[in-house]
A = this chain, B = another copy of it.
Amino acid sequence: MSDPVAVDAMGGDHGPAETVGGAVMASREHGVPVVLVGRAGEVRRHLARHDALGEIDVVHAQEVVPMDEPGAAATEAASSLRIGCELVGRGDASAFVSSGSTGAVVACAVRGIGRAPGVLRPALAVALPSVTGGATVLIDAGATADPVPEMVAQFAVLGTSYARLVLGVPDPSVGLLSIGSEPGKGNRVTRGAGELLAGLPLRFHGNVEGHDVLAGTVDVIVTDGFTGNVVLKNVEGTVRATLTLVAEGGIATPEALREVARRYDPETHGGAALLGLRGTVVVAHGASGAATIARACVVAHALADGGVTGLPEDRPAAEPVR
């Protein structure tokens, strides 16, 4: 049996009430081996409710990182985040799943797991459904807010590996998110990244724009973690606003629109993968319920098996930082 997926029992808006149920579901329904990390007494009480006391191991962690804790501060205490990441770092778990604060997860993962060889900074990857029926991987969706161009170029390499595994596209195309389709349009970071991407062994499509995010124009859209996070949340908000307007206009009932809403609900993304580390980390939405946590465990398990977290060994890394 493969190493278990470590699940942060204390993360998210609902804590063990949802995370423990998610871990049980991942184990029973999907056959994913799991271990829960958090306050042992509390976690065991929730396991007992699912009749799963002898079934799933618990690793004790006394501290809980609040959802609004800044990233760096989270690494100090012996929290479920820190201890979960250390399990992966030591090789005692194959992957870590948390619905905690993204910034805190990133900080703990970098410290407890470490960056993969050659990787400058980690990046969050999210697969967004396209209007054409496929999906586009958005990377970085919020791990590194101020990257230099060399980091953005690496994100493209990481996103390509991720798209190959998650979308099943053999040779994914990559677009650089910018403010004009012509090369050289953008801000300083984008222009620098564009020059580097043109020289990398990946299928670089050139610049794409904000309206390409859901259009299925490319398989991977690469950007800095600030723009990527704003865009991810803007997609969620804009889909919601549009459906509200449609429903209010009497054009359709809210019930009929639920399927479209579900498609862009952050709950259904199955989590964002934190790439570029020596191990696998999946960040689920803070509001995740048990089913979403279970899905995140399945994704984490598959990613750990596929080994897509670092730079591919047969491909050169991006240029080193000057």
Residues of A participating in the B interface, judged by any CB pair closer than 8 Å: 68, 70, 103, 130-131, 142, 145-146, 177-180, 182, 184-188, 190, 209-215, 223-227, 229-246, 249, 251-252, 256-257, 259-260, 263-264
- Quick one: which of B210, B237, B246 contacts A230, CB cutoff 8 A? B210
A245–B131 CB distance below 8 A: yes
Contact between chains at B240 and A103 (CB < 8 Å):
no
Number of copies: 2
A interface: dominant SS: helix
Q: Judging by beta carbons under 8 Å apart, are B234 and A145 in contact?
A: no
Interface-centre pick from A145, A184, A209 (highest chain B CB count, 10 A): A145
Asked if A187 contacts B238 (CB within 8 A), the reply is no
* Contact partners of A241 in chain B: CB under 8 A: 130-131, 214-215
Q: CA–CA, A229 to B210, complex, Å?
A: 8
Specify which of B177, B190, B234 is in contact with A210 (CB 8 Å cutoff).
B234
Task: Check if B179 sits within 8 Å of A229, measured CB to CB.
Answer: yes
- 21 A–B pairs (Cβ distance < 8 Å), ordered by A: A131-B245, A145-B179, A178-B226, A178-B230, A179-B229, A186-B226, A187-B226, A209-B233, A210-B229, A210-B231, A210-B235, A211-B233, A211-B236, A213-B238, A230-B230, A238-B239, A238-B242, A242-B264, A243-B246, A246-B257, A252-B256
Which B residues are CB-close (under 8 A) to A236? 210-211
CB contact under 8 A between A142 and B179, given known A211-B233, A235-B238, A243-B242: yes
Residue of B nearest to A245 (CB): B260
A212 neighbours in B (Cβ, 8 Å): 237
Determine the distance from Cα of A186 to Cα of B225 in the docked complex, in whole angstroms.
9
Chain B nearest CB: distance from A165 CB in Å? 25
Question: In the complex, A311→B204 CA distance in Å?
Answer: 43
Nearest chain B CB to A54 CB, angstrom units: 40
Asked, given contacts A179-B229, A231-B230, whether A187 binds B145 with beta carbons under 8 Å apart, the answer is: yes
User: Which listed residue, B188, B214, B242, touches A260 by the CB 8 Å rule?
Assistant: B242
Q: Residues of B contacting A231 with CB < 8 Å? A: 210, 230-231, 234
